[in-house]
Structure 1
Amino acid sequence: MSDEANRTAFLEIKGRMIETTGKLKQVQNQMRNKEGEKKRAYLTLEELRQLPDDTNTYKSIGRTFVLEPKSGLMNEQEQKFKDSETAIAALQASKEYIEKQKAEVENNLTELLQQDPGLAQQIMSMTVM
């Protein structure tokens, strides 16, 4: 009975580990994307700042370019930069939370394997096959 309960607990912990690892990878990918957006906005702003105020600037809308005042483009890029920073901060908090969940699941798995050394041997024999 205890052996079956431990096996069930192991399968549950394994599922939680897979789930948290997937969530962590997803958040890391989102952070990487937001970092790219932030960098593009920053670089675009730096290039726009170097231009004289009376320069014709164009905004890309799909495959079309529309004449846009320099100030409008700068405001748009500044907003993108700020939005990216906000999103990165939120994703960082989410990442830390998920990392804590993952550490908790790892601790649960370690405790389970320490309680039932036979279960660890069964798991190893299943993975060797």
Structure 2
Amino acid sequence: MAAMDLELKRAFTEMQVNKIETTKKMKMIDYQCDVLKESSKKYEITERGITELDPNTRVYSSIGRMFVLSTVPTTREELKAKQAKCDSLVEQLNEKKSYLSKSLKEQEDHLRELVQQKKDADAS
């Protein structure tokens, strides 16, 4: 019976630590998703803004800390590609968050089983 108590305490402590870590990871994923969604929105707004320009208008694209002369169609395609990349990353992060959530739920279920086994053993 002491081994069962020890195993239960170890599992409970491990589960609490894992829950804290998983919660931190999920909050970080939420933050990253928010940043990516904001960037995607900026790209969308900028792309809509330059659609009104004449195709021969000289525009500048930023590359790091540098600006490069570009055309409106090229810049629009670059903005659409960046927006699509952000959307793709958001989907990947949401899948990762879903996996973490399922993993946490499985651990909680396992802990409940251990507690139930302990109760059954004590009742016997």
What is the TM-score of this pair, normalised by structure 2?
0.79
Which one of 77, 98, 101 corresponds to residue 99 of structure 1?
101
Which one of 20, 26, 29 corresponds to residue 28 of structure 2?
26
- Offset, 1:60: 2.7
Structural RMSD (CA): 2.1
- Offset, 1:51: 1.0
Structure 1 runs of 4+ aligned residues shifted over 6 Å read: none
Which one of 50, 64, 67 corresponds to residue 65 of structure 1?
67
Aligned partners of 2:83 and 2:74: how far apart in 1? 14
| More displaced 10-residue stretch of structure 1: 59-68 or 4-13 | 59-68
Structure 2 residues not aligned, in runs of 5+: 120-124
Retained in 2: the 8 A contact 1:59–1:68? yes
Secondary structure in 1 matching 2:57: coil
- Offset, 1:4: 2.5
- Offset, 1:112: 4.7
What is the TM-score of this pair, normalised by structure 1?
0.76
Aligned partners of 2:65 and 2:96: how far apart in 1? 36
The equivalent of 1:126 in structure 2 is: none
State percent identity of aligned pairs: 31
Alignment of 1:1-129 (within 5 A): 1=2, 2-112=4-114
Aligned partners of 1:12 and 1:106: how far apart in 2? 11
Structure 1 residues not aligned, in runs of 5+: 118-129
- Give 2:42's aligned amino acid: R
Aligned partners of 1:112 and 1:21: how far apart in 2? 22
